[in-house]
Amino acid sequence: MNKVLIVDASESDRRLMSSLLTRAGYEPITVDTMEATKSEVAKLPPGAVIVAE
């Protein structure tokens, strides 16, 4: 499982990072609020990566 959480970037940045990561074989999860971030972080497996602006 190669999940990457992308947090608090602009919509265009989220789309760009998500597209690049998907092509590289990762499963990006994008969020734009801290409330959504808390929820998604709780679901991540150990060793997951979080990209924050």
Average pLDDT score over the chain = 87
Residue linked to tokens 């190669």: 2
Q: Which residue segment(s) compose the domain that 37 sits in?
A: 3-52
Q: Above 70 in pLDDT, residue 1?
A: no
CA 38 to chain centre: 12
d(CA 43, CA 16): 23
Model pTM above 0.85: no
What does the alpha-carbon distance between residue 47 and residue 35 come to, in Å, rounded to a whole number? Answer: 21
Counting the structural domains of the chain, the total is 1
pLDDT band at 50 (very low <50, low <70, confident <90, very high): confident
